[in-house]
Amino acid sequence: MGRYEEAKKMYGDLGVDSEAAIARLRKIPISVHCWQTDDVGGFENTGAALSGGLQVTGSYPGKARTPAEVMADMDVALSLVPGKKRLNLHASYAIFEQGVFADRNALRPEHFSPWVDYAAARGVGLDFNPTFFSHPLAASGLTLSHPDPETRRFWIEHGIACRRIAASFASELGTSSLCNIWIPDGYKDTPADRLTPRLRLKEALDEILAEKLPGVIDSLESKVFGIGLESYTVGSSEFYLSYAAKRGDAYVLLDNGHFHQGESISDKIPSLLAFFDKLPLHITRSVRWDSDHVALLDDEIKEISKEIVRNNADGKVLIGLDFFDAGINRVAALVVGARSMQKALLYALLMPSDHLKQLQEAGNFTEIMALTEDLKTAPFGDVWSEYCRIEGAPADGGWFPVVRQYEANVLSKRA
């Protein structure tokens, strides 16, 4: 009997069908972000440095510099990740043919047609994000809440343009596109007026979201603070949650690095599922602050996955990745993060969730503790290896040599 067959029997004895777990995992898409490949650089070349409370650290060689290099790096990463994938883009990754530049408020679907061709050829959907940072008109740290009407108008037009681009993705690729709004707006020190900026943000969002666009899933992403925005952020969790609930046609996106240290988003998931039919996520790993470290198979990502699986929310929770580390091989970072997310989902799928719920209803907490502890030493890795085999992706230990060879042949030759 092979290792997987032994693992299958052991899980079967615990009331878990490993075949069903693998089949379910194969249907859950992970939206992989392009901005890990080039340190959130994009292709605008406006001269604006990375801003908005964001910071990428490290100087590992091999950073992608062109659309072709980003796409090549993404191809390698996606080939090493089993399961269903999507591609997540920022507006700053528009591709301008013959050097004809369009500012962010003038972006059009044709500026992303190479990305649509890329996605269509690989059978993946596209998700999208307006880029409200790293631009001269975002230098003050204010965009949609800016007191200057002209500056605010520029960013409103950008948001409207991005939603229309997302609609074009959905139409051309035949799958919905998540259009996620995150803004860096806030103040370094305690503000004299917390309400007025939020009222301006509310009015701006009303205008951006006014147009009904088929195929677009709108989401709003909060954040506790950023560098230079330590005391106050306009787009707080309470603001966006209230706004989305009031509208009824937008959703809140939870980024597990955007809350207080020690605050867990896994507990927020079932609360939001009680009221919303969709819940977008950005998976990262925070170390002391929203440091956007590469996602690993840690306790929080496991708990997030358990809440998705045990609540049968596979079709409701939209999982995306969001991290950027310039201190390590950037392609490897994508592979590690995506595979870690899938491992966490498989770990959750290999739990007898229905039985555990029944034990809770009966008040049998001792048996819950004993069973969940026993599951920690179950042969999860053997089921993961079988999943990789079915998907035609390398098992653990088999993918890193591919990245190392790609680094030697391609990445090391980039200036």
The set of long-range contacts for 353-362, using a CB threshold of 8 Å and a minimum separation of 24, is 353/306, 353/309, 353/310, 355/15, 356/310, 357/310
Question: Is 221 a residue of the active site?
Answer: yes
Q: Quick check: is 223 catalytic?
A: yes
Give every CB contact of residue 384 below 8 A, 6+ residues apart in sequence: 343, 346, 395, 396
**Of 307, 322, 325, 382, which residue is the catalytic one?**
322
In the annotation, is 322 catalytic? yes
Location of structure tokens 């700053």: 92
Q: Clarify whether 399 is annotated catalytic.
A: no
**Pairing mode, strands 30-33 and 279-283:** unpaired
292 is catalytic: yes
Specify whether the backbone of 207 is left (phi greater than 0), alpha (psi in -120 to 50) or beta.
Answer: alpha
182 is catalytic: yes
User: How far is the C-alpha of 388 from the C-alpha of 129, rounded, in Å?
Assistant: 30
- Which residue in 33, 111, 158, 282 is the catalytic one? 282
Catalytic position from the list 111, 146, 158, 258: 258
Alpha carbons 326 and 225: distance in angstroms, whole number: 22
- Residue tagged active-site, from 35, 182, 384, 399: 182
Active-site annotation holds for 85: no
The active-site residue out of 221, 325, 386, 407 is: 221
Could you say which of 218, 255, 325, 382 is catalytic? 255
Is there a catalytic annotation at residue 290? yes
Q: What is the DSSP letter of 101?
A: -
Q: Please, which residues bridge with residue 280 across strands?
A: 318
Q: Tell me which residue of 81, 4, 18 sits closest to 382, measured CA to CA.
A: 4
Find how far residue 187's CA is from the centre of its chain. 25
- Residues 95 and 111: beta-carbon distance below 8 Å: yes
Could you confirm whether 258 is annotated as catalytic? yes
Q: What are 154's two structure tokens?
A: 């520029």
Q: Which of 223, 268, 306, 343 is catalytic?
A: 223
The whole-angstrom separation of Cα 184 and Cα 143 is 8
127, 292, 303, 307: the active-site residue? 292
Q: Could you list the active site residues? A: 182, 221, 223, 255, 258, 282, 290, 292, 322
